[in-house]
Amino acid sequence: MADRTLGVIGGSGLYELPGLADVEHVRVRTPFGDPSDEYVVGRLGATKLIFLPRHGRGHRLLPSELPFRANLWGMKHLGADAVLAVSAVGSLREEIVPGHVVVPDQFIDRTRGRTTESTFFGHGIVAHVQFADPFCPVLSKALAHGARAAGATVHEGGTYVCMEGPAFSTRAESHLYRSWGAAVIGMTNLQEAKLAREAELCFATLALATDYDCWHPQHDDVQIEDVLKVVATNVELARRTVVAMAPALPARTGCPCPNALAHAIITDRARIPEGVKRDLAPILGRYV
């Protein structure tokens, strides 16, 4: 199997992996501004790993402030062909106990005002990618296997509600999302998934359940101090999952990701502005 490059977006401590070699910190300038922080690049066996702290070191950025386009452009520029998003989420199902892991397969978008951060396109180029199944099924299967190997209780499949934040849900909203059949709720992954698909990156989410949001009558309403305690416990689980998953990344076959743009760009190639072609070169290079 050819060498693979896995991007990992999550907390700042994820790159502290045993066996991670040739580590360097890389600052990337993008046409969409600065990413959340420096990228940490290294190798774990034959797999190149690229880590990015989503909210910046010290957790400085709100979910609505995240430079999603810059973050994913930087991953593509540095050679990633797959991206793993590690995220804390609230559980909307009794069986998804805080401490469990979910590998979701669907999204519901409840964000507002993130339109420009949800696509690389516009400003003279139009593309419409297929997004019916927003997560890479092949990468998600490998992620679930890696999480189980790391000792996690894993729920495969389920809908991730992506809310605006930064406040948590109202009780009415929490019950509404449960009535829709959703599994977990978070604030970040939808934009990452859309941009990954446009960049022809395989994408999967390791959703770490930290609480029961505010719907569960036998549990306290979500409190940030409780979330942070569970997150701290799950950092080591996330590290073990990356270590288990990285050497066994599957071939990029059987998923829509590697050729997502093949029929998506509808703009006359002669009319695409040269500046747009230059800015999107890592993404559009083989098409324009």
**Rounded alpha-carbon distances, angstroms, from residue 80 to 35, 54, 72, 93:** 15, 16, 9, 33
| Two structure tokens written together for 6 | 């896995």
Strand, coil or helix: what is 215?
A: coil
**Rounded alpha-carbon distances, angstroms, from residue 42 to 19, 164, 279:** 10, 33, 26
Catalytic status, residue 211: yes
Closest CA to 12 of 63, 56, 42: 56
**Rounded alpha-carbon distances, angstroms, from residue 158 to 14, 163, 251, 260:** 24, 16, 24, 23
Cβ distance 188 to 162 under 8 Å?
A: yes
Q: State the DSSP code for 108.
A: E
Catalytic status, residue 34: no
The catalytic position among 37, 81, 105, 211 is: 211
What is the spatial distance between Cα 243 and Cα 237, in angstroms, rounded to a whole number?
Answer: 10
Query: Which long-range CB contacts under 8 A does 54-63 form with residues at least 24 apart?
Result: 54/9, 54/10, 54/11, 54/85, 54/188, 56/12, 57/12, 58/12, 59/12, 61/36, 62/165, 62/166, 63/164, 63/165, 63/166, 63/187, 63/188
Cβ distance 97 to 148 under 8 Å?
A: no
The catalytic position among 37, 81, 105, 213 is: 213
What is the spatial distance between Cα 94 and Cα 98, in angstroms, rounded to a whole number?
Answer: 10
Catalytic residues: 211, 213
